[in-house]
A and B are shown apart, each in its own frame.
Chain A
Amino acid sequence: MLLGPSLAVSAILFTLGVVGVLLRRNAIVLFMCVELMLNAVNLTFVALSQSLGLDGQVFVFFVMTVAAAEAAVGLAIIIALYRHRDTVNLTNINLLRG
């Protein structure tokens, strides 16, 4: 029941997320792309739980919890970064260069 289209949307969303993470340089946009990937995975879980049982739906709650926590920590880091360097453009942040 709509399994095929659901997985297709999920795949498209995930790929968009990956491409966004690889190509964008703004930390906040990058962050949003990560959220996009997580939610794509959530969609896969929900779609597959229809045939495979409720485990998938339970996992979705875990993912959402972790994503909320991650968003809190990640946004805090970005704010600290912005205060320090006056930018959130990741090209300019390269302290680890060898």
Chain B
Amino acid sequence: MNPLSGTLADSVGLLILLPLLGAIANGVVAIGWPRAKGVVTGIGTGSVALAFALAAGIFGVMLGQHPEAAHVVRLWSWMPVGELGVDFSLQVDRLSIIMALVVTGVGSIIHVFSVGYMHEDEGYARYFAYLNLFIAFMLVLVLGANFPVLFIGWEGVGLCSYLLIGFWFTDEQKAAAGLKAFLVNRVGDAGFLVAMFLIFRTLGTLDFTAVNELAPRQLGHGDVMATAIALLLFLGCTGKSAQIPLYVWLPDAMAGPTPVSALIHAATMVTAGVFLVARAGVFFALSPLAMAVVGGIGALTALFAATIGLKQWDIKKVLAYSTVSQLGYMFVGVGSAAYAAGIFHLVTHAFFKALLFLGSGSVIHALHAAYHHTQSHADPQDMRNMGGLKAWMPRTFATMWIATLAIAGIPPLAGFFSKDEILAAAFARGHDSPVWYLIWFLSAAAAFLTAIYMTRMMLYTFHGPNRTGEKEREHLHESPAVMTIPLVILAVLTVAGGAINLPHFLPASGWLHHWLEPVTRSASNLAGEVHLSGGVEATLIVLAIAIAGAGIWVAIKKLRPEELVSAARAPAETGFAKLLLEKYRVDEFYDAVIVRPVVWMSRVVLWKGLDAGVIDGAGVNGAAFLARTFGWIGSRLQTGQLGTYLFFFVLGALAIVSALMR
């Protein structure tokens, strides 16, 4: 008997039901009374805040009970088919409750921010309906007790992501960005599905608890099947969590409203892949190859995206590539079997990246309003149109600097602890396989670039002279309290968030590590524990701080915000900077290698050739031609002359008689 049964944890289904009902109610309001913004605000933020309160309540119970095993709440039998018995069941365990807290907590804050950000928008009710639906699906994802239920959430958040990226669907480019996100994710999801099939085929079950028990017994260490499952699952992760080679959708996803970027494309949905690797950790732990691939892809993505982030002018694009880069870190963490470190970075990243996105939203909101006043068509997201905003937006300015220092890895902010733990874990894993030293090096290089591009973003946005324009400048103002208070809350979390998993030489250390230990135990044991000596660890920490400091210093020394000119008058980039601004032309490469051939195949071969030619031509028209020809031949026999009929009748009678006589 699980200690959680009979407690608040039994009502975990309500956790999903609340935002789901909110979504339905807001959907009804969106159709019936689109102007009723007060009702929408109440339903939208209220349902998520209630869900957060419930999650916090369950977490409180768990803190008292210290349950080791997962508490599975079976809602109904979903797919009882022969050997396969999938229940729609939810699982309260130490990992899922942390994720649920992050989703509903950060989700509530962002909902409140959205009230200010989206207030003028005509689709206000529709926006909140989608956002609530997203929270519901995200909770299904993190609370699901087996792979299929997780997959519902996985696809559901993908749907909401699509709906919200293309929220302003009358703009063709934005609708296309939504479509791109959806399609790229299909590639990864195919991998996820095949992985699920393989898991069921190998282990005969899809429940997390059973899988965790059976996998180490039925699959050997380095088993090909374990590697295949792990890599296919990871293919799903590269889609959802925007890793090489499927990262291309995330930067385009910035077409959606900025709070959506903060919630879905920074704090929660894109981290689902990291969560999945932690959930299905046994498969990865059984396969050193898969671990190296996860870590390697993570480190490569971290570095690759960071270089692109160096030269972007769109403030949201900088943050988008930063997100891709930080997700790479998380994969380095979970790939090196340091699950707690990966989840720790997921949590802290949710705080500081949501803060950065909401901050950028606040900035864009101000610039948009200013340009709107003067009827200007300048780009409110281009940093070349900003500059010196600290004078007008002191609260946004201060909170965003906190987040910047956190993501750069300056102690004692949250990002420092989590990033340092991942780097240390990767370095320690080098003891098993030297490739991890390379992964560590790539990650450290990415950390250096992170400090540079984030400082660049802050310098160009808030420091130096203002480039918004003479008339527009008068309309600049700080965002209302409904938007700045969420910033302050997130800033507090960014400062204090590191406390949940302090390094072991500090007092009250490693809380998250110990907390997640029952969940990650089986996978960690399989992967083997690795430890660093105190001296090496201290060196790494000093090095990490030095890297972060050097990055910020280089950016401050090298960049000259006062020499920038506004976007309209800016000269074109040349050389390597142009290549970076064009994101290494990866989109163009994919377009030439994948999209165009597929479109050509579809249009020329499948449509014109197979569909119009073979199926319509030979199939449909061919059958009609055959029927008509035989019909014509048959109709020639019907002469209408009685003599002909009689002639054939006699002929037939004679044939029968002759046959009988033989």
A residues contacting B by CB (< 8 A) are 18, 21-23, 25, 30, 90-91, 93-98
Contacts and interface: CB of A to CB of B under 8 A. Distances in A.
A21 B653 CA distance: 14
Contacts, number: 33
Interface string B271-287: 00000000000000000
Interface in B633-662: 634-643, 646-647, 650
B217 to A, nearest CB: 76
A25 B643 CA distance: 8
Contacts of B643: 22-23, 25, 90
Given A98-B634, A98-B635, A22 B646 contact: yes
Contacts of A18: 650
B640 A96 contact: yes
A87 to B, nearest CB: 13
A46 to B, nearest CB: 21
A91 B641 contact: yes
Contacts of A96: 638, 640
A22 B639 contact: no
17 contacts: A18-B650, A22-B643, A22-B647, A22-B650, A90-B642, A90-B643, A93-B642, A94-B640, A94-B641, A96-B638, A97-B641, A98-B634, A98-B635, A98-B636, A98-B638, A98-B639, A98-B640
Contacts of B638: 96-98
B640 A95 contact: yes
Nearest to B637: A98
Given A23-B643, A25-B643, A98-B634, 16 more contacts: A21-B646, A21-B650, A22-B647, A90-B641, A90-B642, A90-B643, A93-B642, A94-B639, A94-B641, A95-B640, A96-B638, A97-B638, A98-B635, A98-B636, A98-B637, A98-B638
Secondary structure at the B interface, as helix, strand, loop or mixed, is helix
Nearest to B638: A98
Contacts of A21: 646, 650
A28 B308 CA distance: 102
Contacts of B640: 93-98
Interface string B53-91: 000000000000000000000000000000000000000
Contacts of A23: 643
A40 to B, nearest CB: 14
Nearest to A23: B643
Q: Which 6 A-B pairs have the closest CB atoms?
A: A94-B640, A98-B638, A97-B640, A98-B635, A96-B640, A90-B642
Nearest to B647: A22
A91 B650 CA distance: 19
Contacts of B639: 94, 97-98
A23 B643 CA distance: 7
Nearest to A27: B642
Contacts of B650: 18, 21-22
Interface string B537-573: 0000000000000000000000000000000000000
Contacts of B635: 98
A98 B637 CA distance: 7
Contacts of A93: 640, 642
Nearest to A91: B641
Which of A90, A91, A93, A98 lies at the interface centre, i.e. has the most chain B CB atoms within 10 A of its CB?
Answer: A98
Contacts of B641: 90-91, 94, 97
Interface string B619-641: 00000000000000011111111
Nearest to B636: A98
A8 B636 CA distance: 39
Nearest to B635: A98
Nearest to A95: B640
Contacts of B636: 98
Contacts of A90: 641-643
Nearest to A19: B650
A21 B644 CA distance: 11
A93 B642 CA distance: 8
Nearest to A97: B640
